[in-house]
Amino acid sequence: MSATQEYLSKKTPQEGNSSTLQDFKSLIKDVFSFNPGKACLTLILVILVGITNGVSIVVLIPLIQVTGFGELKDTDDYLSKLITRFFDFIGIHPSLGGVLLIFFLVFLSMALLQYQQIKSSTSLANKFSAYKREGLYKQIFNSQWSFFFKNKMAHTASILTVEAQRVMLACDSLFRLTSESFLTMSYIVLALILSWQVTVIVVFAGAAISWFMRKQIHSGRRIGKNITEYNNNLQSAVWEHLGSAKVIKSYSAEKQSSELFQKLVYKVSELYILFLTSQARIKAVFEPITVAILCIGLYVALTFFNINTANLIVLLLIFYRLFPKISSVQQYYHKFLAAISAYTAICSLEKIASSSHEYFNGKKEVTSFSEGITLENVSFSYHPENGDTLSDINISIPYGKTIALVGESGAGKSTIADLILGLLLPAKGALYVDKEDISNIDLKSWRSHIGYVTQDTLLFHDSILSNLLWVNPEASESDISRALRIASADEFVKNLSEGINTIIGDRGVRLSGGQRQRLALARALLRNPGLLILDEATSSLDAESEKRIQEAIESLQGSLTILIITHRLATVRNADFIYTMSEGKIVESGSWDDLTENTSGYFYSLCGLQGLVEQ
């Protein structure tokens, strides 16, 4: 079994059912290995913000005491002693002004640290999401051709765009979660110092509520997965609808497609509403209960434990601040769970792409292509269980010759081009490039000798010049004008308002089909290819454009190897040799004259169907 076949028969790895903890761990690991310095800095800032937050509350104790709620020296709890020692150390008697100054300085540093922390974590989250996006893009383009037809491209697009953005959210909520958790911990530690009995009661009660609400919180993950799925569907719909706008309009099917689109849009918004309401519900249930617990805690503190006024006020303040923190920890966790599905989706697509990496790439570089290509008893199948797509193909493409591959649509012609390009590998038999088996060849070096023009050529929304230079950035001005001249594109390019700098493509100047194909041919020629593959390159063109390209191809004959793939026989009259295909097999071959002489042959009957011979 060939590598391609092996990959094709492999099941697509499903999105793993990894646990939240695993996802959590792998995200953290990923972020830390992406930028260890920045990740550590963010973590340190998170801790510092937590500490200053705690200190900002502790400073309240002397503040309250100097304002007359009790003598600082009178108290004997640990925290008050610590504060007294601190003032002794800096040599200031805790006066109102001094305490206020410290109070201000603590808040100032807290604000600055918080700013730095948000800056650092936001930049880390965004850069990380960009890094994942870029990595995935590279993985995708390093994978085998089969990746592109095995996976729905609209889903891949959605993961590269929408989901990659949500990874930023996952990261951001993770940092906030850490920061809020740290703050919560520091509040709890402070509260424990002030009155451990009351704190234990309150914290236990808080933990109990969280436990009861765990289902609510975990609903975030389920909703998140659904959001990922429907975002993908929405993206597919956008692609399909915009891509077939003409068909939709011509069938007056606007209503049907808009209903389809609407359904998806509403589903996505419904999911977001579900997510936000569930978040609001958590808050709505959590807050009144926490206030009730706080009241009970206070009641206990005042009735059963003797706490001095300053400490009691501070304790109250801590709890007052602590509860929103606990609820925001819950909210960030909920948000994190909803966004982690995006991270999982990226990772699993990365896995799929890397498992279909072009691993059958050989080591031998093709420095020059000079002898030709041979296919020996080649068989191939997209779905082995459904039989062969190509069986027992023998083709010889000598260097410098023009070879045609004809046959009805679905015969397997383009699959042969894919095999020659090394996009697919034969399941049986072998394909040789200059006598070297293609599986030993470095595919990039081989492809650099090929110019490939298909029926629907991709031109980018950019200038004609950039579109041409895309295949050969080093091409000189004379190379470019030569390529344009041979492809007979020079004249129409000259007549465009801005010549070669005219913007074409999606939102640029609309070129006719013939003009686009001539540019595509020029682009292919700019690579100075040893082999030019024209796969139905003129099939969708009007007679005039077809003729011009035909002439261009004829002028090239002999100077390089040309493989013309077409179902239109009239265009291969001048080919040196013609292979006729039907249902994955070569059924006839020979020169035009040989083939048309055999009046009982398949080629002759095809010529008859196309009105090229009398029947």
Ligand X SMILES: Nc1ncnc2c1ncn2[C@@H]1O[C@H](COP(=O)(O)OP(=O)(O)O)[C@@H](O)[C@H]1O
Q: Are 539 and 566 in contact (CB under 8 A)?
A: yes
Q: Are 574 and 554 in contact (CB under 8 A)?
A: yes
Rounded Cα distance between 362 and 443, Å, is 7
219 binds, among ligand X, Mg ion, none (CB under 5 to 8 A by kind): none
Rounded Cα distance between 124 and 459, Å, is 35
- Nearer to Mg ion among residue 306 and residue 409 (C-beta): 409
* Residues 325-364: x where in contact with ligand X by CB under 6 A, - otherwise, as a string: ----------------------------------------
# of chain residues touching ligand X (CB under 6 A): 11
- Closest CB 531 distance from ligand X, rounded Å: 18
Write out the E strands in 493-560: 503-504, 531-535
Is 602 a binding residue for ligand X by CB under 6 A? The answer is: no
# of chain residues touching Mg ion (CB under 5 A): 1
SS3 561: strand
- Closest CB 569 distance from ligand X, rounded Å: 14
Q: Which of 102, 339, 411, 453 binds ligand X (CB under 6 A)?
A: 411
- Nearer to ligand X among residue 144 and residue 279 (C-beta): 144
User: Of 429-458, which residues contact ligand X (CB under 6 A)?
Assistant: none
Rounded Cα distance between 427 and 447, Å, is 21
- Nearer to Mg ion among residue 354 and residue 414 (C-beta): 414
Q: Are 589 and 393 in contact (CB under 8 A)?
A: no
- Closest CB 24 distance from ligand X, rounded Å: 38
Q: Which of 382, 399, 470, 602 binds ligand X (CB under 6 A)?
A: 382
410 binds, among ligand X, Mg ion, none (CB under 5 to 8 A by kind): ligand X
Q: Are 542 and 514 in contact (CB under 8 A)?
A: yes
By C-alpha distance, which of 531, 526, 574, 527 is closest to 400?
Answer: 531
With tokens 């004959």, the residue in question is: 557
Instruction: Classify residue 17 by burial, with Cβ atoms within 10 Å: 0-12, 13-18, 19+.
Output: exposed
User: Of 114-173, which residues contact ligand X (CB under 6 A)?
Assistant: 149
- Nearer to Mg ion among residue 223 and residue 537 (C-beta): 537
With tokens 């023998």, the residue in question is: 394
Q: Let me know the angle formed at the C-alpha of 101 by 97 and 106, rounded to the nearest 5 degrees.
A: 150
For helices 543-556 and 477-486, the axis angle rounded to 10 degrees is 120
Contact segment (CB under 6 A) with ligand X among 73-81, 287-295, 296-304, 407-415 equals: 407-415
- Nearer to ligand X among residue 419 and residue 531 (C-beta): 419
By C-alpha distance, which of 562, 463, 480 is closest to 522?
Answer: 480
Is 413 a binding residue for ligand X by CB under 6 A? The answer is: yes
Q: Which of 409, 476, 478, 495 binds ligand X (CB under 6 A)?
A: 409
- Closest CB 458 distance from ligand X, rounded Å: 18
- Sheet strand arrangement including 436-437: 390-398, 372-380, 428-433, 436-437
Is 209 a binding residue for ligand X by CB under 6 A? The answer is: no
- Nearer to ligand X among residue 156 and residue 344 (C-beta): 156
- Nearer to Mg ion among residue 355 and residue 414 (C-beta): 414
Q: Are 592 and 601 in contact (CB under 8 A)?
A: no
- Nearer to Mg ion among residue 166 and residue 567 (C-beta): 567
Instruction: Classify residue 48 by burial, with Cβ atoms within 10 Å: 0-12, 13-18, 19+.
Output: middle
109 binds, among Mg ion, ligand X, none (CB under 5 to 8 A by kind): none
- Closest CB 417 distance from ligand X, rounded Å: 8
Cα 563 to chain centroid distance, Å, stands at: 35
- Closest CB 8 distance from ligand X, rounded Å: 9
By C-alpha distance, which of 58, 120, 344 is closest to 221?
Answer: 344
- Residue 233 structure tokens: 């569907």
Contact segment (CB under 6 A) with ligand X among 37-45, 217-225, 403-411, 504-512 equals: 403-411
149 binds, among ligand X, Mg ion, none (CB under 5 to 8 A by kind): ligand X
Q: Helix and strand tally (H, E) in the chain?
A: 23, 12
Instruction: Classify residue 54 by burial, with Cβ atoms within 10 Å: 0-12, 13-18, 19+.
Output: buried
466 binds, among Mg ion, ligand X, none (CB under 5 to 8 A by kind): none
Q: What are phi and psi of 46, to 5 degrees?
A: -60, -45
Q: Let me know the angle formed at the C-alpha of 599 by 593 and 603, rounded to the nearest 5 degrees.
A: 65
Is 412 a binding residue for ligand X by CB under 6 A? The answer is: yes
For helices 20-34 and 36-58, the axis angle rounded to 10 degrees is 110
Q: Which of 114, 126, 374, 414 binds ligand X (CB under 6 A)?
A: 414
Q: Which of 143, 184, 415, 515 binds ligand X (CB under 6 A)?
A: 415
- Closest CB 407 distance from ligand X, rounded Å: 6
- Nearer to ligand X among residue 344 and residue 455 (C-beta): 455
- Nearer to ligand X among residue 135 and residue 384 (C-beta): 384
411 binds, among Mg ion, ligand X, none (CB under 5 to 8 A by kind): ligand X
135 binds, among ligand X, Mg ion, none (CB under 5 to 8 A by kind): none
- Nearer to Mg ion among residue 166 and residue 413 (C-beta): 413
- Nearer to ligand X among residue 151 and residue 517 (C-beta): 151
602 binds, among ligand X, Mg ion, none (CB under 5 to 8 A by kind): none
- Closest CB 541 distance from ligand X, rounded Å: 17
Is 540 a binding residue for Mg ion by CB under 5 A? The answer is: no
Instruction: Classify residue 458 by burial, with Cβ atoms within 10 Å: 0-12, 13-18, 19+.
Output: exposed
Residue type at 612?
L
- Closest CB 554 distance from ligand X, rounded Å: 23
Rounded Cα distance between 508 and 186, Å, is 59
By C-alpha distance, which of 150, 167, 145 is closest to 345?
Answer: 167
* Residues 388-417: x where in contact with Mg ion by CB under 5 A, - otherwise, as a string: --------------------------x---
Q: Which of 389, 488, 538, 571 binds ligand X (CB under 6 A)?
A: 389
- Nearer to Mg ion among residue 423 and residue 503 (C-beta): 423
Contact partners, residue 358, CB within 8 Å, separation at least 6: 142, 143, 144, 443
Residue ranges that bind Mg ion, judged by CB under 5 A = 414
Contact residues toward ligand X (CB under 6 A) are 149, 382, 389, 407, 409-415
